[in-house]
Amino acid sequence: MEGEVGGRSTSAVEARRVLGMRVDATSYEHAATEILGWASHGEPRYVCIATVNNVIEAHDNPAYQRVMEDADLVTPDGMPLVWGLGLLGVRGATRVYGPDLTPILCQRAAAAGIPVGFYGSTPEVLADLTANLARRCPNLRIAYAASPPFKPQTPDEDAAVRERIDRSGVRVLFVGLGTPKQELWMAANPGGRAGRHGRGRGRVRLHRGAQAAGAEPLAAARPRMALPSGQRATTALAAVPVSQSEVRRALRGAAPQALVLG
């Protein structure tokens, strides 16, 4: 573990490095406010919901560590990261768990009229997820949902995906491709032709933090392949690898404790 870090594009929030990887001492309230604010202003951003898997991958792979460093927000999804923040001097560090953050974001997006989208997982899990969210958030506009094949896609196929996402008008895109693929995808796809700091046409990308590796609902990464510009901005989110049963349990169960925001 290391000390304090800076240089993020989020509002004031403490951060520390755990084995070299930045982790932000955010909260459900802070993360949801930042993400929906970026989405409403059309700012292209990406958010990583981090576990120990991300830390180890970043420690072993400098290129992946740069992807995590460039993220606009890195939340402590796993409790070991929360404990690490505490040991590094962050008082009151709390977990920001993807399966709890997702419904919070969807409820707020529904209230604000912000369209969301999902990219990743299997067709069955994706259908189950979107149906459950539609029941929980009747006014939620799901403008895009797609389950890509597990095989590597050709450049033409990648371009077609980016165009469909852009045309959908999605402002918050949940990505679930498994770590590290989802973070690399987000980093390579800035979320609008306007670019990383563009306004009015960007989208926020983030991973849900509630999927199984390689097959879960969406995460946010910022790849370097510019997405075509669209009429509306998109916010993308990336999902961390967790079991599909946890995804279903999180979305079918009672209102998550994360909804009680201090």
Q: Is the pLDDT of residue 242 over 90?
A: no
Burial class for 83, CB neighbours closer than 10 Å (0-12, 13-18, 19+):
middle
- For 261, the token pair is 């925001």
User: Could you give the CA distance from residue 121 to residue 66 in angstroms, rounded to a whole number?
Assistant: 25
Q: Which whole number is the average pLDDT over 225-252?
A: 37
This prediction has a pTM of 0.75
Q: Tell which residue, 190, 48, 159, 33, has the closest CA to residue 108.
A: 33
User: Could you give the CA distance from residue 225 to residue 189 in angstroms, rounded to a whole number?
Assistant: 5
Specify the pLDDT at position 150: 84
Specify the pLDDT at position 191: 64
What ranges do the domains of the chain cover?
A: 15-87, 98-256
Specify the pLDDT at position 198: 29
pLDDT tens-digit profile of 86-107? 999 999 999 999 999 999 999 9
Based on DSSP, count helices (H) and strands (E) in the chain, helices before strands: 9, 9
CB atoms within 10 A of CB 138: 8
Q: Which whole number is the average pLDDT over 110-123?
A: 95
Residue 180 preceded by cis peptide, ω within 30: yes
In DSSP terms, which residues pair with 15 in a beta bridge? Answer: 24
